[in-house]
Amino acid sequence: MSVNILKAPELEGQSRRAAAVTQNAVTRETSWVAADGAGRRPGPRSAARAAATMAIALAVLANGAPATAETLTLDQAVAMAIEHNRGLQNTVLDVRKSEDRLKANRTRQLPSFNLYALGSQPLRAVEFTLEKGILGNYAGTGPLPSEDVHLKSPMAPSGIMMARVAQPLTSLIRTRRSLEGLKTGIELANEQVRADRQKIIREVKTAYYGLQQVESSLRSVRQTMDLYRELERLTENYVAGAVVLKSELLDVRARAAKTAQSELVLRDQLASGKEQLNQLLGRDVSLDFEVPAVLESTDQQTDLQAARDLALRQRPEVRQAQLRKKQAAHDLRAKRAEYIPDISAEFNNVTLMNFGRFLPVQNSSIGLSLSWEPFDWGRKKSEIEEKRRTIDQADNSEKDAVSAVLVDVSAKYRQLRQSRSQLQVARLVQESSLESLRVVKNKYAVQTVLLKDVLQGQVNLEQSNSDYQQALLSFWSARADFERALGEEQ
């Protein structure tokens, strides 16, 4: 699914048009003041309005001061998180561990070498007697031995060394079936990496869009605060001239105080959001940065059924459920192989040291060894039944995973559709506020409304701009949720 992302100058144009409205008012008020030199002396009210309008224009136009901190784009943030996120690195290490486990178990197919050595001090000598003629009675020599012979091992330190080389034969069947299960485990670990990568990307996008939302609200609050300050100054002049009541001044001050409180809250939210994003990126949480304004997009709608089919092919949860079922089948086959007797080809060597000359120093042999448990009281049968039930559980989990993915895709699809509709509504409201400000400005030009009405129109436009930004960010957040529901990694 492709998305065309464009830098739209619409929002910048809205700000320029709003600034132009105020600048026109400044020009008009300045012309009234300049009329003093032409013989037409304006009243004190006109002069005060001109000064207030000039201050407001300067406050509005001065909000575009460039930031000194680095600018962090969304693509850069995602790339940093994929490369440096510690949680994702641990998941990648799990894959390496699974590969090491497979390599280690492969060596069970090869011959094993065992060496056993024992050095000891005899506590009692080994004594035995060869009786006369025990070795035979021959005509030429007579009985062997000709008399009883008493043999005794020395009490000096002695040692035994045993060497064994064994090549498994029938157990190779069970080992190779176990290796198939370990290979499936590596595939599972890789799917977990995909799942965690998608999770990290979603968390980064959520945190990033949250910062853009807070900064958009903060810019709107700052502009509103500047307007309230100038409105408070203008209202003070009106109160001094008995043009308006004092209650209007108190109302302006209360609104300014609420706006200042909102600005403080937004500043704290912005600082916390930057720390959380830095943690996701795996870097120092105290690093400062700026995020650019949110971009607009021409979204291409997708068919719901096509989105479901794509999600079933790409979502790691479905693939993991399938692999767990496959792994359970490998475990069952390996468990059944335990019925086969363990037969190995062996070479054995025993060496005796300092046991006396009457015992052989070394003895070697080669042959086959058998290890088998013919009767286990039904233990293997119960273990095989357990493996069968594990396969049934894996089959149920696979079906649940498919259903959960379909439900998730449908929900995110509807959420994206709703956010797209909300964005269209916010755009219309923004255009309506701009037109209302234009009408108020024209009425102000013929002195049918007060400057307070112009300022209120400006506040309404800033609020509609902020609402549009919120709707746009909600759209991008819903878009990111939908992409994750499809199993896309971008």
CATH number reported for the structural domain that contains residue 246 in this entry: 1.20.1600.10
Same domain, 302 and 432: yes
Same domain, 209 and 277: yes
Would the pTM of this model clear 0.85, i.e. be above it? no
Residue 261 has pLDDT above 70, yes or no: yes
Whole-Å CA distances, 34 to 27, 53, 138: 10, 15, 152
* Residues 467 and 430 sit within 8 Å (Cβ to Cβ): yes
Same domain, 428 and 329: yes
The mean pLDDT of 435-461, rounded to a whole number, is: 77
Same domain, 359 and 442: no
Which of 16-25, 201-210, 297-306 has maximum average pLDDT?
A: 201-210
Residue 455 has pLDDT above 80, yes or no: no
Which has the higher per-residue pLDDT, 72 or 295?
72
Which has the higher per-residue pLDDT, 397 or 358?
397
pLDDT at 96 (0 to 100): 95
The mean pLDDT of 246-260, rounded to a whole number, is: 84
Mean pLDDT of the chain: 81
* Residues 211 and 291 sit within 8 Å (Cβ to Cβ): yes
Which has the higher per-residue pLDDT, 275 or 442?
275
50-54, 164-168, 451-455: which has the minimum mean pLDDT?
50-54
Same domain, 389 and 359: no
Same domain, 158 and 275: no
- 39-98 tens-digit pLDDT: 333 444 444 444 444 444 444 444 444 446 788 888 899 899 888 888 889 999 999 999
In the structure encoding, which two tokens stand for residue 166, read together? 């064994």
Same domain, 86 and 207: yes
Same domain, 349 and 202: no
Of 371, 391, 419, which residue constitutes the final position of a domain? 371
Q: How many domains does the chain have?
A: 2
Domain extent for 163: 114-171+342-371
For 136: left if phi > 0, alpha if psi spans -120 to 50, otherwise beta; the answer is: left
**Strand, coil or helix: 131:** coil
Which has the higher per-residue pLDDT, 122 or 12?
122
CA pair distance 26, 49, nearest whole angstrom: 9
**Strand, coil or helix: 181:** helix
Which has the higher per-residue pLDDT, 119 or 125?
119
The mean pLDDT of 308-313, rounded to a whole number, is: 90
High-pLDDT (> 70) share of the chain, %: 83
pLDDT at 151 (0 to 100): 79
Rg for the chain (alpha carbons), in Å? Answer: 43
Same domain, 235 and 269: yes
* Residues 289 and 274 sit within 8 Å (Cβ to Cβ): yes
pLDDT at 217 (0 to 100): 81
pLDDT band at 6 (very low <50, low <70, confident <90, very high): very low
- 398-432 tens-digit pLDDT: 999 999 999 999 999 999 889 888 888 988 998 89
Whole-Å CA distances, 47 to 29, 60, 230, 277, 344: 8, 20, 15, 50, 108
Same domain, 33 and 94: yes
Same domain, 81 and 94: yes
Q: For 489, phi and psi rounded to 5 degrees? A: -115, 85
Same domain, 358 and 312: no
pLDDT at 1 (0 to 100): 35
pLDDT at 252 (0 to 100): 78
